[in-house]
Amino acid sequence: MAVRDIVGLLSPWLDYPGVPSKAHPGGRDYRVQSPDRKTGLRLAALAALGRRAAEGESLTAAEVEQIEIGDDQAEDFATMVLGPTHELMLTDGVADMTVQAIARDAFYCFTANEALADLVLQGEAAARDAASKKPAVRSGRKTAGSSSSRASSGTPARTRNRASSRSSGTPAGKAKKTA
pLDDT tier at 64, thresholds 50, 70, 90: confident
* Residue 143: partners with Cβ closer than 8 Å, 6 or more residues away: 135, 136
Alpha helix (H) ranges present in the chain? 37-54, 61-67, 74-82, 84-92, 96-111, 114-133
Residue with the bigger pLDDT between 70 and 168: it is 70
Residue with the bigger pLDDT between 147 and 63: it is 63
Residues 35, 82: Cα–Cα separation, whole Å: 8
> pLDDT of 86-132, one tens digit each?
999 999 999 999 999 999 999 999 998 888 888 888 888 888 888 88
